[in-house]
């Protein structure tokens, strides 16, 4: 089982093989790095350790240039736990941490993380204002006793797999290509919140989730699934502001197309799969018009989901 660490849990006594990155979405390129990490840690009899940051460093350093996130922290942790690593260190990214020089960061890896082997992508930048690169890491690593290994980019159809590219696809609602680059169906782990009963009032009760404000996902209606207690249920999912009802708050609303054994309770975490983007969210002239559209959404979603369940 992966042990989750924060800075207060350091230093680590066991010798480690480590990697560092934001790992937003944990796509196939990221997982190639983790694969190498696990292979090397096993071969060298080291513990495998991944360092990641929350929030995304760019959100702290350049909020005006910060784009959005593929997944939230709960989903990221879940994905890492399924990779079978020994340790996951989540560093709360602050301006103070950012001010570490590249050399100080390498010292942090040695003395706080007991890192003997560092595996990173070939374009890795680190330290204050990104002053350190892979060549500098190898040079300093040699002095500090850290072997630095760089991993080449992973491509699909000659396109470099990157979090930036996946973000752009998510904003378009292109879930088919997102899934190819992630190597899995796109999903989020979200906490159930108390709704206002509007869905139930119009005959389509929903399970309500409050997503992070910086989610890349395109607003609109999706065919998808909800997973709870190892059971998977077909669903129509609305991600947006509910313009026909009130238009003031952003929610993920999940209308189940199958009755669950037990409905999720408030504060319970569930997994939501987004399979296909169906349409934009829009304001209808009346509640009756909205209800008719939802019925049509359900019909289309059922056709889509009948083909997809076996591929989760």
Query: Which one of the listed residues 14, 142, 152, 253 is annotated catalytic?
Result: 253
Q: What pairing do the DSSP bridges indicate for beta strands 87-92 and 3-5?
A: parallel
Chain center to CA of 228: 19
Residue with structure tokens 């942790």?
77
Is residue 14 within 8 A of residue 45, CB to CB? The reply is no
Is residue 71 within 8 A of residue 212, CB to CB? The reply is no
Tokens linked to 176: 């088919």
DSSP 263: P
Three-state DSSP state, 128: helix
Distance CA 158, CA 210 (A): 37
Is residue 51 within 8 A of residue 113, CB to CB? The reply is yes
- Any catalytic annotation for residue 253? yes
Distance CA 307, CA 262 (A): 25
DSSP 193: E
State the angle between helix axes of 175-182 and 163-172 in degrees (0 to 180), rounded to the nearest 10. Answer: 160
DSSP 216: -
SS (H, E, C) 221-259: EEEEEEEECCEEEEEEEEEECCCCCCCCCCEEEEEECCC
Residues belonging to the active site: 253
């Amino acid at each position: 089982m992966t042990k989750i660490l924060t800075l207060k849990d350091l230093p680590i006594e066991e010798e480690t093989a480590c990697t560092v990155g934001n790992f937003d979405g944990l796509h196939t390129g990221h997982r190639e790095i983790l694969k190498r990490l696990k292979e090397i840690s096993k071969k060298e009899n080291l513990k495998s350790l991944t360092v990641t940051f929350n929030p995304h460093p760019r959100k702290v350093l350049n909020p005006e240039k910060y784009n959005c996130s593929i997944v939230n922290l709960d989903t990221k942790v879940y994905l890492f736990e399924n990779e079978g690593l020994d340790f996951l260190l989540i560093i709360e990214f602050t301006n103070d941490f950012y001010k570490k020089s590249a050399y100080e960061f390498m010292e942090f890896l040695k003395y706080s993380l007991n890192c003997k082997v560092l595996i990173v992508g070939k374009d890795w930048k680190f330290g204050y204002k990104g002053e350190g690169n892979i060549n500098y890491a190898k040079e300093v690593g040699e002095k500090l006793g850290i072997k630095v290994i760089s991993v080449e980019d992973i491509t699909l159809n000659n396109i470099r797999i990157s979090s930036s590219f996946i973000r752009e696809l998510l904003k378009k609602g292109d879930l088919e290509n997102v899934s190819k680059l992630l190597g899995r169906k796109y999903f989020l782990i979200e906490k159930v919140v108390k709704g206002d009963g509007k869905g139930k009032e119009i005959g389509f009760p929903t399970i309500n989730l409050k997503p992070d404000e910086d989610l890349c996902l395109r607003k609109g209606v999706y065919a998808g699934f909800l997973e709870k207690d190892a059971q998977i249920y077909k669903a129509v999912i609305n991600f947006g502001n509910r313009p026909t009802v009130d238009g003031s708050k952003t929610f993920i609303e999940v209308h189940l197309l199958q009755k669950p054994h037990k409905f999720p309770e408030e504060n319970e975490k569930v997994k939501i799969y987004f399979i296909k983007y169906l349409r934009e969210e829009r304001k209808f002239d009346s509640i009756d018009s909205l209800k008719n559209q939802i019925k049509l959404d359900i019909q289309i979603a059922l056709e889509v989901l009948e083909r997809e369940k076996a591929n989760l």
